[in-house]
Structure 1
């Protein structure tokens, strides 16, 4: 396939042709597009390929009402998540997840891997300077719309990179977030977040693929759901997904889906 980078697109092919070399373009093009979908997305839409990982019970709950969620899925499913992390350029989460779990957001695998960039959306700079991710190898980014320079300096001194982005109704503009990450040369972004951020990403149409691990357990109707979608009140508002793959991972099912246009 032709390089989608507008700065070089087609020039290499023309040089080969000018040198008298026969060139066939488009061989196994769909395979090439799948292999390079993050780079293609970044070049053509100025945003990464976004994959969101979710884990839920059979009744669609991600945690108990208290927030406790360790562990819903099996050790095999959690190992599969670390494989997804290892394949990603960056991992994105929200500040509420950090405050609740203090996650490492690294890839713990049994092979050499470049650790993904850790990215936290933190509109008000509530990140604790003691968060463990700042002490780990690799980059830890905080994206914010706060103007609190004192908090920013404290977090930078703790090891974070802090970037101020555009806001939308006093919250980070998710399109600005994706454009910024593309500028940081993030090709594939893995989202590991709660219902609020996942709901916002779903509502904005910014997720390209959903990977959902479903465990054979019941958490009950008081448990926390997958998506916070307060504006979705009628059947006409429902979000449709296309099921791409289902397979068993340990005792759980892994569903891979992509979005479809909303049914009206």
Structure 2
């Protein structure tokens, strides 16, 4: 355990912005030191890293890594432990998307999406599980998607990867169940992030709609609440799953989708 916070080290992949950063803040608020990760240069995320440390009084670090490279995943885990101590929490959040019909789906996009959304998560879990099971405690949270539970046209690779991530979650949960380790998945629907916000004006222009209509009738059409989830809500769930209160929750896929997958 980390002597400064008592909660150990959390590695959150894809955490330089959006959902990953929201999860990082929630874990830091719970007392975890946090290793941030992304593809940006370190100078570009220094302000976010410093704000995280100053707001919550924990240690933070950042490592740039292309997690589609198999060796980069092991290197990231090693760097996190070298700089902050043994990893007690792993959050696999890094992901990428591409939309096209199956008949037109490019091979390189298929390989990229599976490599980042699924294979990188597998490798990260493989790297941290031996230490977690040896210590008798660990928490792994995989950020899947509502598309891990249901499908949509044009998203063959993403849907396949997220369905696969849920299978990986269940398998890892069973393998670690007697060693004090839990493995769960969060399945967000549409979440209000800077990326989503930035896309709305262009979508509105392309479709001849108002921005309010794009939100309600395009992005939130599948979510019965007609409301976006927030990064803080996803973070709060992740922090709960990493707490002692969630010790008997493992192998679960928890939707945060405004009722999307209840239909």
TM value normalised by structure 2? 0.36
From the CA coordinates, give the structure whose radius of gyration is larger. Answer: 1
Counting strand residues as a fraction of each chain, which structure ranks higher? 1
Counting helix residues as a fraction of each chain, which structure ranks higher? 2
The structure whose RCO (Cα within 8 Å, separation 6+) is larger is 1
